[in-house]
């Protein structure tokens, strides 16, 4: 018998946030310039409307099924599990979505909303390029102008994705400010938006930014956890003993965690990118090494110096290279519902190769951080226990980076 706890009718549910002003505990909120504030209120209103509109949900379901390719499978990684000799590892195969990552779940939802709001021009930030590619894809599908902001460093290390965006008809703007990574791309996308508010929709790629983005992106990504929660019960007859996901801004993690939040017996693990090590000064672990502050429209854990200046993050994975994290994660950390751990660049590289060899699945370097933690955990657990790992993206885009780190010239 599947253990099916009611998840919607609990009085003390952890799934009801944020409050009406977008706060998750002390985190979240709407810290934006006045020019953008009326837009945030308009977006919130529009989103609240479609959230309960059956026609919108029907339209979204149609595209998720026939274009994105949902539901995604839950794969029992037998060889990996046997090799580690501990818990059974199940991979939620988000890398099989169209465009190769979980990003399209959110993008599809927001693009349908943008169309309803009559917006004709889309701007987006991207780190690894997965969100940029997903955004460029739906803009091609619906014939909308698409401007992608991407740090110059990331443009360099994610060339295949940059070319994909060009092919899809998007304009990619390399951002040279700062370290040329995701944080700088986010600043520049906000600058574009504020200058083009009339016709432009800012399609945020993660569960961060001003309210309602964190809640909206989470809702669109929750399809991952909703499916996984059903699939694991179908396959094993019960809920998992752990759910693991990698965290940059935290959208794939929020998406898989949210439907499990009220399952008190299911431990959840968010894996931050430790980079060269938590205390190396070259890390992206904002929960482990940051403190609450305000950036990009929300209060959340941030990597910052003692004066409140934001510091540069570092990770081998461009998608995790961000000094902040979504505000709902910060709250889940404060209340202790989710365990936030980390994996280094080297651990991610090892996991990348291990999963490729043992399961024939090349994971994105982002997802490899989650796999790395599963490898650590599985061997401490028993064979009848289960772990779900969110395999958020495919690793083709990372092949040149990995080759370079392994000293292979392509």
Partner 1 sequence: MSRIKTCFDRLKKEGRGALLPYLEAFDPDRETSLALLRQMPEAGADLIEVGVPFSDPSADGPTIQLAARRGLKAGATLKGTLELIQDFRRENDHTPIILMGYYNPIDSYGVERFCKDARSAGVDGLIVVDLPPEESEELAPHARAEGLDMITLTAPTTPDDRLKTILRKASGFVYHVSITGITGTRSATEEQLKAAMTRLRAATDLPVVAGFGISTPEQARTASRISDGAVVASAIIKEMAATYDEHGHATARSIPTALEKIRSLARAVRS
| Contact residues: partner 1, CB under 8 A | 21, 29-39, 177-178, 183, 186-187, 190-191, 194-198, 293-297, 299, 302, 304, 306-311
Q: Which of 92, 103, 119, 333 is catalytic?
A: 103
Contact 220, 188 (CB under 8 A): no
For residue 36, give every residue at least 6 positions away whose Cβ sits within 8 Å of its Cβ, in sequence order, or none. Answer: 190, 193, 194, 197, 210
**Gap between the Cα atoms of 398 and 349, Å rounded:** 10
Sheet of 291-295: strands edge to edge?
23-24, 27-31, 297-302, 291-295
Contact 208, 298 (CB under 8 A): yes
**Gap between the Cα atoms of 244 and 354, Å rounded:** 17
* Smallest gap from residue 249 Cβ to partner 1 (A): 15
Q: Check if 13 is active-site.
A: no
Query: Which token pair is 126?
Result: 């991207």
Q: Which of 251, 317, 367, 392 is catalytic?
A: 392
Q: Check if 103 is active-site.
A: yes
Cβ-based nearer residue to partner 1, 311 or 356: 311
Quick check: bond before 71 cis, omega within 30?
yes
Cβ-based nearer residue to partner 1, 258 or 299: 299
* Smallest gap from residue 233 Cβ to partner 1 (A): 42
Q: Which of 44, 94, 95, 125 is catalytic?
A: 125
* Smallest gap from residue 212 Cβ to partner 1 (A): 13
Cβ-based nearer residue to partner 1, 108 or 310: 310
Coil, helix or strand for 339?
Answer: strand
* Smallest gap from residue 201 Cβ to partner 1 (A): 14
* Smallest gap from residue 107 Cβ to partner 1 (A): 22
Q: What is the crossing angle of helices 130-142 and 103-116, to 10°?
A: 40
Cβ-based nearer residue to partner 1, 24 or 260: 24
Contact 92, 390 (CB under 8 A): yes
Cβ-based nearer residue to partner 1, 249 or 270: 249
**Gap between the Cα atoms of 392 and 345, Å rounded:** 17
Q: Check if 198 is active-site.
A: no
Coil, helix or strand for 391?
Answer: strand
Q: Which residues are catalytic?
A: 103, 125, 392
């Amino acid at each position: 018998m599947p253990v099916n706890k009611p998840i919607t009718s609990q009085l003390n549910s952890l799934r009801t946030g944020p409050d009406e002003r977008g706060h998750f505990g002390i985190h979240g909120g709407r810290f934006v310039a006045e020019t953008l504030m009326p837009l945030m209120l308009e977006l919130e209103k529009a989103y609240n409307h479609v959230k309960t509109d059956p026609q919108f949900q029907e339209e979204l379901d149609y595209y998720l099924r026939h274009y994105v390719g949902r539901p995604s499978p839950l794969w029992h990684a037998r060889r990996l599990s046997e090799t580690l000799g501990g818990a059974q590892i199940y991979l939620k195969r988000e890398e099989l979505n169209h465009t190769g990552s979980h990003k399209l779940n959110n993008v599809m939802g927001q693009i349908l909303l943008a169309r309803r709001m009559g917006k004709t021009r889309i701007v987006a930030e991207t780190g690894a390029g997965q969100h940029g590619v997903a955004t460029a894809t739906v803009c091609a599908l619906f014939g909308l102008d698409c401007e992608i902001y991407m740090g110059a460093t990331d443009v360099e290390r994610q060339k295949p994705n940059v070319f994909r965006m060009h092919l899809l008809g998007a304009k990619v703007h390399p951002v040279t400010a700062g370290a040329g990574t995701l944080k700088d791309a986010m600043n520049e996308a906000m600058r574009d938006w504020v200058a083009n508010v009339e016709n432009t929709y800012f399609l945020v790629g993660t569960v961060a930014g001003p309210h309602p983005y964190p809640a909206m992106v989470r809702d669109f990504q929750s399809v991952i956890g909703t499916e996984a929660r059903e699939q694991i019960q179908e396959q094993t007859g019960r809920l998992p003993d752990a759910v693991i996901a990698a965290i940059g801004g935290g959208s794939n993690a929020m998406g898989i965690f949210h439907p499990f939040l009220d399952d008190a017996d299911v431990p959840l693990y968010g894996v931050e990118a430790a980079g060269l090590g938590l205390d190396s000064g070259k890390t992206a672990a904002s929960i482990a090494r940051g403190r609450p502050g305000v950036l990009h429209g929300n209060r959340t854990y941030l990597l910052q110096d003692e004066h409140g200046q934001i510091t540069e993050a570092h990770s081998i994975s461009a998608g995790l290279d961000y000094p902040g994290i979504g505000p709902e994660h910060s709250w889940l950390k404060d209340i202790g519902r989710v365990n936030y751990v980390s994996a280094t660049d080297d651990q991610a590289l090892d996991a990348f190769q291990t999963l490729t060899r043992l399961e024939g699945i090349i994971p994105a370097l982002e997802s490899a951080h989650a796999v790395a933690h599963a490898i650590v955990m599985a061997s401490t657990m028993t064979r009848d226990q289960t772990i779900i790992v969110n395999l958020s993206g495919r690793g083709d885009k990372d092949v040149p980076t990995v080759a370079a780190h392994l000293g292979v010239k392509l």
